[in-house]
Chains A and B, each alone.
Chain A
Amino acid sequence: MNRFDYVRPRTVAEAVAAGAQPGSAYLAAGTNLLDLMKIGVARPARLVDLNYLAGLDTIEELPDGGVRIGARVRNADLAHDLAFRRRFPAVAEALLSGASGQLRNMATTGGNLLQRTRCAYFQDTASACNKRAPGSGCDAHGRENRLHAVLGWSKTCIATHPSDFCVPLVALDAIMEIEGPEGWREVPLADFHLLPDATPERESVLAPGELVVALRLPPEAAGFAAHARYVKLRERTSFAFAVVSAAACLRIQEGQIAAARLALGGVAAKPWRARAAEAFLLGAAPAEAAFQQAATIALAEARPSGDNTFKIELARRIAARALRLAAAGTPERLPALPASPFAPLPGGLHG
């Protein structure tokens, strides 16, 4: 690990000032950054430790019915907050399907959004990677890439964004609140992450020094609580990133879908909102034919980036599964294996 400066700002203003200096990296829980530093992928000149900031650590009910989640709220605290879980069950289910208990106790709201890809070639400093070393090439092309992107990838990069949390968030129109050297701004999560195109090293719209301070869910997001699920296909039962995943949220009125949200995980460099599928579902009967058709629409533009053709069909199937489960109703209690296909539904439905 390289030698680096370490600063502990007490206020957001101090943090942003320190973070704006070249070579700085914000340190939240460090569950991803410290690993990357140990393997030489990240070599920041300065760590700006956010763990001593005042604030940014509360879940705040907003007067309009929305919620603001401080960037430093731990994943486990958010997932186990009863009021939050009741109103945004798919978000809680996604959080609890990620990583391990120990990691969730550390990992933060802001950090989760900014975690780096798990592409083996990104994590290996001896390999070419345009994300890590712009212009060096992409060794994932033509090599071990069975779990790489099937949507939105480019010749320069086929990596995926690994977050579970982001998938229901993007479905629910989450909004990022950002402080920076140029002041405060907000950005919809859907626009926050960038597709690789020619610049895969740019993973989000954050400018140097900009700091995610909070994440907001709008009041409409709570309207899906009765029909909101996250489903995750993974290669072991726990502690694994998604092969593919899907968040589906429905509002059902008088036997018709009055509002639909669908997003996919593990398929692209960003959480993938399937708006065309949502539009298709509006007004449809919540039944298998509509779910299958919507899932097909969601993957219409997918194409393999390597040995991963199977992921397209799996993503289609998991989208249909998530819609089916959402239509059946949110379970009253989260399953013991959150988001697992093997989770039998305990008890009754969400009231």
Chain B
Amino acid sequence: MVEVARLRHGSGIGQPLTRRDGVLKVTGQASYAADNHPPGLLHAVLATARIARGRVAFLDLAAARAHPGVVEVMTPANRPALAQDPDDKSVPFSFRLDLLQNDRVRYAGQPIAVVIARTLEAATEGAALLAPRYEAEPVEASLDAADVFVPEVVGAGAPGETWHGDVDAGLAAAEHRIDATFETPMQFHNAMEPHAVVAAWEGNRLSLDMPTQGLSLTQMRLAALFGIQPEEIHIRSPFIGGGFGSKLLSGPQVLGILAARLVGRPVKLVLRREQMYGPVTHRAPTRQRLRLGAAADGGLTAIHHHVRTATSRFDDFLEPSAGVSHTLYAAPAIATTNEAVRLDTGTPGFMRAPGEASGSIALESAIDEMAYSCGMDPLEFRLRNYAEIEPVSGKPFSSKALRECYVEGAASFGWAGRPLLPRSMRDENGMLVGWGLGTATFPALMFQGEARAVLRQDGTGLVETGAHDMGQGAWTALAQIAAESLGLDASRLEFRAGRSDLPNAGIAGGSAHTATAGGAIHVAGAQVIARLTEIAVADPRSPLFGAGNIGVVARSGRLVRWDDGSRSEAFGDILARAGLQEVEARGMANADPTAAERYAMHAHGAVFAEVKVDPELGQVRVTRLVGAFAAGRIINPRLVRSQYYGGMIWGLSFALHERAVLDPRTARVVNADLAEYRVPVNADVPSLEAILVDEEDPHVNALGIKGVGEIGITGTAGAIANAIWHATGVRVRHFPVAIEHIVAAGDL
């Protein structure tokens, strides 16, 4: 068991600080990758494939090169050599890249050439003038594809099949059975900031401005691709305009770097919006069959969650939708199985709550159907099937305040008295009103991270780690942990992040960044304080002399005796007397394998939704969302609430809006822009409430932190689907819910 760090007075942890980078952002001073313009900069624009399978037969290079301003056109014929096959995935979480290695086209939107010009406009028109001709081959774009395979692993390495107990027996013995199939669409991350790179070579040294969720992994893969040392690559990624899993290293960014190498000048490459619908991963479509059995008393007897999903023809990522069924509800028999088809699309990947988002909407819908079948209130049914231990693994939870989430969420929403029957409520304007519930869940993960902390004689401190702020607030939350770890006021602390020449902070993914980078900071700070303490307590001239190493605490820039607050000494005085300019330490944090072996570790939540549906026209409006979440210790409640809001809005988007339309004949995304790929606007976002439920977790990691970035989507999408059913009596199992699904049921 890890000892939970004690909260100290004057702590930055737990304070609702506003974003330290907020003013920079709202005044446009925060510099994103594409805002950089080194001298001599050229602009690169991708030409991308219009077919999804075949080869490029012809490019009108002469026309493109003749266009005024065009400097060079990069194709497989002149692309600088690479030291590693772009299909080589030696780095964790990486995908096969399309780097002009040949004339093959394996999905629509794949880069087939790069035009480099003095202006963006010239490069753009140069790319259009290439007017490619293709030898096209038939494409597969449907989940109904004939060639189905059973994947051995799904997601980031989970088993493709899990059996616990006897599902058939559980279903056979059930009094109530649900057998329902749900469909979720292909979705794209659509970060506001497109993938971009500004690349400059000096010999073998590579300087990059590039948004990335994984500075170190990006550095490693680029080093392998270009045959140089990781230290020769310097990446600046201070602000990331949204990543959501799409911003590890993308092929187009490497092409920008290759373009800079080809022309010997700095090059900027920024994806156009429609170019983000191909080479930078997406969430694959799923078709999920849920078979549930329940006894007469509402106790689940079996859950079988079967997923069909899709990956690309040339690489594997299987949306792990069934994983949520391993943890959420107690049942004596639980099985999860997967199958997949290969489509002529780009490779899917990690998209915010990969698996949990798509799986949760199906599971929560099915659970809702079963509750109704059993004649039980959906909340009562969930409590009846509350998992006291993780059902499949049999492990106890490191902490689980889900019951409190249900209670606090229901109280704030006013759930009590909800009529069991659908179509029971109307508002004063005659709109149908429905209330739905969804349980939220996301695993508490952690990666390996490092940080460095310094205390200086002038009483200031420095903490640095190569952390990533994708908009979630890392600049602020990690600085709070840093201030806490050094017992310094934030104003006395310099915090550095977002650069590859800082200690490796792991990746910003899996909702694990605060635990990872924050954990490393916590250790580094503690090491510095320990060293300072050693100096002080061994010095007879210090008021702390003889206090012993654990007899003091760092607080407001001073070491203070635990047992006598009047005996203390300023950090700077200790260092000055010892003749030291500064004291420094590095700290490393990693997931504790024994904890993971002994405990199931997840964040949980309960989301309550109210929707209104026009009884004549079928238009749906979400009017209230209340989410109560328990995710261990909260570093900054303001930022955490903001993360929950963002997740809940994404859940709304999942339930009602987002859908990439893959043309069945061409395997091209038909709605590849933000005008046609629908996301909610402000007027769609209802009154939101996010309740932070107290939860203390002594096992999960030293700071007791679980992630908050992804969980908000889960639960919410299902809650909305369930509320639509409750309003209308129509159970839509096809997402996003569309008007025709609702009016198809006839007059409401």
Contact = CB atoms under 8 A, between A and B. Distances in A.
Interaction A to B:
yes
Interface of A: 1-3, 35, 39-40, 100, 118, 120-121, 123-124, 126-127, 139, 143-144, 146, 233-240, 243, 310, 313-314, 317-318, 320-321, 337, 341-342, 344
Interface in B647-698: 656-657, 661, 663-666, 668, 670-671, 675-676, 678, 680-684
B431 interface: yes
Contacts, number: 89
A310 B740 contact: yes
B621 A2 contact: no
Contacts of A233: 617, 619, 739
Contacts of B663: 139, 143-144
B661 A337 contact: no
Nearest to A240: B678
27 contacts: A1-B125, A35-B675, A120-B670, A120-B671, A121-B670, A123-B676, A124-B670, A126-B668, A146-B740, A233-B617, A233-B739, A235-B739, A236-B656, A238-B681, A239-B681, A310-B743, A310-B744, A314-B617, A314-B618, A317-B617, A321-B616, A337-B683, A341-B616, A341-B619, A342-B431, A342-B614, A342-B619
A314 B739 contact: yes
A123 B663 CA distance: 14
Contacts of B121: 1
B738 interface: yes
A127 B663 CA distance: 11
B50 A126 contact: yes
Given A3-B125, A314-B617, A341-B617, A124 B681 contact: no
A236 B676 contact: no
A159 B672 CA distance: 18
B274 interface: yes
Nearest to A39: B274
Contacts of B682: 238
A234 B619 contact: yes
A118 B125 contact: no
A238 B203 CA distance: 52
A120 B671 CA distance: 7
Contacts of B618: 314
A143 B665 contact: yes
A314 B744 CA distance: 10
- 4 closest A-B pairs by beta carbon, nearest first, are A237-B683, A310-B740, A126-B50, A238-B683
Nearest to B120: A1
A267 B743 CA distance: 17
B612 interface: yes
A121 B678 CA distance: 17
Contacts of A314: 617-618, 739, 743
A2 B128 contact: yes
B78 interface: no
Nearest to A241: B675
B124 A1 contact: yes
Q: Most chain-A CB neighbours within 10 Å: which of B429, B683, B684, B738?
A: B683
Contacts of A341: 614, 616-617, 619
Interface of B: 50, 121, 124-125, 128, 274, 428-429, 431, 612, 614, 616-619, 621, 656-657, 661, 663-666, 668, 670-671, 675-676, 678, 680-684, 738-740, 743-744
Contacts of B683: 236-239, 337
A124 B429 CA distance: 42
Given A1-B121, A39-B274, A126-B666, 8 more contacts: A143-B665, A146-B738, A233-B617, A236-B680, A237-B684, A239-B683, A341-B617, A341-B619
B236 to A, nearest CB: 29
B743 A313 contact: yes
A1 B740 CA distance: 38
A344 B428 CA distance: 9
Contacts of A320: 616
Contacts of B429: 344
Contact of A342 (B124, B621, B656, B739): B621
Contacts of A243: 739
A100 B684 CA distance: 14
Contacts of A313: 743
B616 A143 contact: no
Most buried by B among A121, A233, A342: A342
Contact of B668 (A1, A124, A236, A238): A124
B617 A236 contact: no
A39 B680 CA distance: 24
A74 B670 CA distance: 31
A240 B664 CA distance: 25
A74 B119 CA distance: 33
Contacts of B744: 310
A263 to B, nearest CB: 18
Given A310-B740, A341-B614, A118 B676 contact: yes
A342 B681 contact: no
Contacts of A127: 666
Contacts of A139: 663
Q: Which of B50, B616, B666, B680 has the most CB of A within 10 A?
A: B616
Contacts of B671: 120, 144
B149 to A, nearest CB: 28
Given A40-B128, A313-B743, A235 B681 contact: no
A120 B619 contact: no
Given A233-B739, A310-B743, A144 B661 contact: yes
Given A144-B663, A236-B678, A2 B125 contact: yes
Nearest to A308: B740
Contacts of B612: 342
A191 B657 CA distance: 36
Of A39, A100, A124, A234, the most chain B CB neighbours within 10 A belong to: A124
B39 to A, nearest CB: 26
A236 B657 contact: yes
Nearest to A320: B616
B122 to A, nearest CB: 9
B611 to A, nearest CB: 11
Contacts of A3: 125
Contacts of B128: 2, 40
